[in-house]
A and B are shown apart, each in its own frame.
Chain A
């Protein structure tokens, strides 16, 4: 396998292999909790915590796990870190935990996390797995921030709860409804594909 530089390993998660825009993974939380920037950011950070620690554990014990039970083992590891993240949010960030509702426990089934364990951490060193997890998490957070910023500004006229649009602005309610999530994600995916095809042509 050709070895990438550490920098390239990190940067691939931001664009070339961005989990949402390029791999189309983790769409459930991406669509569900991006109605406001704060919930989008909280989801991004909780997923980052789970992805980093799951990758560290899986890459550390990969040689001990028989191939037949690897998925079950990954899920136990991931579910443990998700439960920790959930309990932590409930204890220290109760209002955010209430706003995210069932979507924190559902990080267990976020395909980005299981996908990175299967495709990367189970085949690479601890260090590289950490860099990969950091890159993928950054890409995920940036995408959630882009999506939630657009939705909150247009849907409520606010950014992080602060009014940014003048009194003339009438909020586009559809943007904070599920339909708005699909429309915004569709547009972002279209832009990403457009940029990608132009880059390739050049």
Chain B
């Protein structure tokens, strides 16, 4: 057998065996990976919308998903907005909640981030950052409070706290939320999201 034929046969065989093997592995793990991603989203929703039980996707576009959240008994619990935007180092994926009237942010959690460890990564810290996101006004753009304050009571309803030495990461999260809120308000104006649309699920 010529050398080139041997090379072709060996590489093709190795490639085929490897491809077949990987297809099998992908089939075995696909469902579990999808469940993991789903569980991560559900957990994030529960962190930002109290009593969330049944989720329905109301709107979806690249980098933004809006969920309507019903309580187990069918009452409207609120809305959860999953958004992706550019952070200081890499993309930030976050989830924030809106109350039933779509006028107040009920909380925020970070799903994925690659900010600087020890500095920008504090956007995932409850005490340093997340607790300042509860009960924020969602009817207009939010602004960043700088220098940072120690308690949420010191902030205006339209302000969020900055993290000392990580202003850019704080600002990036704020920008993602403000952009998402713009979109939510646009959808409300178009009648695509309403606080009354909670009869079906």
Interface residues on A, range: 20 to 34
User: Which of B14, B25, B40 has a CB less than 8 Å from the CB of A87?
Assistant: B25
Chain B residue, CB-CB nearest to A94? B36
Cross-interface CB contact of B11 among A35, A73, A83, cutoff 8 Å: A73
CB-contact partner of B112 in A69, A91, A98, under 8 A? A98
Query: B18 at interface (Cβ–Cβ under 8 A)?
Result: yes
Which A residue's beta carbon lies closest to that of B6? A66
Task: From known contacts A84-B22, A91-B32, infer whether A65 and B10 are also in contact, taking CB-CB under 8 Å.
Answer: yes
Contact between chains at B118 and A171 (CB < 8 Å): yes
Q: How large is the interface on B (under 10, 10 to 19, 20 to 34, 35 or more residues)?
A: 20 to 34
CA distance A92 to B32 in the complex (A): 8
A76 touches B22 (CB 8 A): no
B7 partner residues in chain A, CB cutoff 8 A: 66, 68-69
Whether A66 contacts B3 in the complex (CB less than 8 A), given A72-B11, A77-B18, comes out as yes
A72 to B3 alpha-carbon distance, docked (Å): 16
Binary contact readout B14-29 vs A (1 if CB under 8 angstroms, 0 otherwise): 1100100110011001
- Interfacial chain A residues near B127, Cβ < 8 Å: none
Could you tell me if B114 and A76 are in contact, using CB atoms closer than 8 angstroms? Answer: no
B117 cross-chain contacts in A, Cβ below 8 A = 35, 155, 173, 176-177
B33 adjacent to A87 (CB under 8 Å): yes
Contact of B29 among A61, A72, A77, A87 (CB under 8 A): A87
The CA of A76 and the CA of B14, in the complex, are separated in Å by 7
> Are B116 and A177 in touch, CB under 8 angstroms?
yes
Interface contact B18-A80, CB-CB below 8 Å: yes
Question: Which of A79, A84, A173 interacts with B118 by CB under 8 Å?
Answer: A173
Q: How far is the CA of A157 from the CA of B144 in the complex (A)?
A: 31
The answer to whether the Cβ of B119 comes within 8 Å of any Cβ in the partner chain is yes
Q: Which residues of B contact A88 (CB under 8 A)?
A: 25, 29
Please determine whether A76 and B18 come into contact, CB atoms closer than 8 angstroms: yes
Listed by A's residue number, 16 A-B pairs whose Cβ atoms lie within 8 Å are: A68-B3, A69-B11, A73-B10, A76-B11, A76-B14, A76-B18, A77-B14, A77-B18, A80-B21, A80-B22, A87-B25, A90-B29, A90-B33, A91-B32, A173-B118, A177-B118
> A-side interface residues toward B, CB under 8 Å?
35, 61, 64-66, 68-69, 72-73, 76-77, 79-80, 83-84, 87-88, 90-92, 94, 98, 101, 155-156, 171, 173, 176-177
